[in-house]
Structure 1
């Protein structure tokens, strides 16, 4: 099965070269974490369609331009707040072969009626699969579980869970790959440094 690199070397090594082509990925993270670094890095590897549901296209473009992470030249488009599911499907019809789709973030889409949202995800996954691409849903954990988050995780081929722990002395980020169709999920989380880039945290945990 063809693997597509994420652009994060430590993650690609752990995943035997990257993600299977055609995968739909859910990236779960705290809203106050540096999870956008992952999205920025993903845009560098391949031609990318970046759909934003919360920020304006200009705001996303400015943030990508200011990022210390190389971001390539993604096509950034804002979804219609009134009919985001229909608008998203219209726009992903132009997803390039072996490209990357990013939806940032998933919550406004997950607010839809469950049957309609499940149908939308099935269509989205089919489009990503037909293109041999990677689709990433940026799913923020806000403390109140999103209406259809469980549906997102069920339909997804891969689930990344970025866990950020804040203490009085440090911020610790660990990435768990809890679901991985077409391969093995990681046995333990990968400890990462998320500053202005994504790198491995080689510091030792002290019990």
Structure 2
């Protein structure tokens, strides 16, 4: 399993070059966070199929065209009546070493646990066949009847972005509690999420 870069240099160093090919990555984050910046890094580092289930194609494209590498990124609409089938059709044609981004999981998780579980298994198989990556954006605070536990169980890697707001700062800490085929982070990684992704080197004040 060749490691595929995430597009975020500090993570690639921590993970020995990236994430093992064939992996399904779940990015958990608050809806009001800047987590889309992390998705953008995954989308721009190599050929990518970006499936949007909530935002418009135009909105996604406007955030990606800031980088020349966006020429290798195709944004597709998955907001129709059959979003699971749409995602799987695209995943079946994923190029070797490519990335498929699903933003976000919430509309897919409402389809029923059994149907959704089969979808995730098929998605994982397509990604494994292509030696690529799937990145699923899973927003927190989803309703209890959704199949979030299935999303996290199928995932090979779980990124948990934790955003806290105080009177003096907005702090973003990335926790990686699950990493099949590699080593999870031993402690949270503090990130700066402004118009890009970087390491926050400021010291926390107790």
Compute the displacement of 1:57 (Å).
1.3
Residue 146 of structure 1: how far off its partner (Å): 6.1
SS for the counterpart of 1:182 is coil
In structure 2, the gaps of 5 or more residues are: none
What secondary structure does 2:192 align onto? strand
Aligned residue in 2 for 1:53: 53
Deviation by residue 1:34-65 (Cα, 9 ceiling, x = unmatched) = 00101111122110000000012122112222
State how 1:131-146 maps to structure 2 within 5 Å. 131-142=130-141, 144-145=143-144
Separation (CA, whole Å) in 2 of partners of 1:70 and 1:153: 33
Q: Does 1:15 align with 2:22?
A: no
Which string of whole-angstrom CA distances, capped at 9 and with x for unpartnered residues, describes residues 83-124 of structure 1?
A: 111121112112111011100001000111111100000000
Q: Distance in 2 between the 1:133 and 1:46 partners?
A: 10
TM-score by length of 1: 0.95
Distance 1:145 1:4 in 2: 33
Q: Give yes or no for contact 2:106–2:142 (8 Å, CA) kept in 1.
A: no
Deviation at 1:80, TM superposition (A): 4.3
Distance 1:41 1:200 in 2: 14
When the two structures are superposed, what TM-score results if normalisation uses the length of structure 2? Answer: 0.95
1:118 maps onto 2:154 in alignment = no
